[in-house]
Amino acid sequence: MRGLRILVCLAIVIVLCSCSHGKKGNPPPSPPDPFPIELETVQQQLNRLGDRAEMKLNIAVRTNVEYNSSVIIRYSLYDARDSQRLIETQELFHAEIPVHKKVEMDYTIKFERYGTYSLEISAEYNGAGQRKQYAIRFDEQELRNELRYTLH
């Protein structure tokens, strides 16, 4: 009799434990496929100009889905140490692009003093967007850049 009670209690514990590992809530929505917009950035040059520097970028964007909407490309420059925005968000491009057509542009970002910067480039199309962030370190000894992340 005692063994039966132990088995029943053990079965109840197993059932309760297995119920608590179920999925909770709805899974996050997955991005549309194909994603409506593709943003590519390629660093062409990173030059030191005395105590200043400049970074030349090739920015390309392509739409994968047809919407009656414009593509908007923007960039912002931040001081990476305190996240203070150094340049208000600049709009580089705002126009409709035919579906599957790639539009490219070259743009130069100027760094007026030594520092550690965060450069964010974004493209938006009908509410969907992509962002790329670069980290730039510029001082007397080095001028270095790395792509930090790409987000949808």
Is 28 part of any domain?
no
CATH number, residue 74: 2.60.40.10
Whether residue 57 contacts residue 119, with contact meaning beta carbons closer than 8 Å, is answered with no
Is 141 part of any domain?
yes
Q: What is the pLDDT of residue 99?
A: 94
Confidence of residue 146 (pLDDT cuts 50, 70, 90): confident
Q: Can you spell out the DSSP letters for 83-116?
A: TEEEEEEEEEEEE---TT-EEEEEEEEEE-SSEE
Strands (E), the chain: 37-49, 52-63, 71-79, 84-95, 102-111, 115-125, 128-138, 143-151
Confidence of residue 22 (pLDDT cuts 50, 70, 90): low
Q: What is the pLDDT of residue 40?
A: 94
pLDDT at 26 over 80: no
Is 19 part of any domain?
no
Is 115 part of any domain?
yes
Is 21 part of any domain?
no
Under DSSP, the state recorded for 127 is T
Q: Is 86 exposed, middle or buried (0-12, 13-18, 19+ CB in 10 A)?
A: middle
What is the Cα–Cα distance from 152 to 146, expressed in whole angstroms?
Answer: 19
What is the Cα–Cα distance from 41 to 58, expressed in whole angstroms?
Answer: 6
**How many domains is the chain partitioned into structurally?**
1
pLDDT at 113 over 70: yes
Which has the closest alpha carbon to 68: 4, 134, 127? Answer: 127
The predicted-structure confidence for 70-104, as pLDDT tens digits, reads as follows 999 999 999 988 888 988 899 999 999 999 999 99
pLDDT at 8 over 70: no
pLDDT at 149 over 90: no
Confidence of residue 19 (pLDDT cuts 50, 70, 90): low
Is 12 part of any domain?
no
Give the H or E element holding residue 7.
Answer: helix 2-19
Question: Which of 33-37, 67-71, 145-149 is predicted with the least confidence, judged by mean pLDDT?
Answer: 145-149
Q: What is the pLDDT of residue 59?
A: 96
Is 80 part of any domain?
yes
Average pLDDT over residues 47-63: 92
Is 77 part of any domain?
yes
pTM above 0.85, yes or no: no
Average pLDDT over residues 132-147: 85
Domain of residue 119: give its range.
37-151
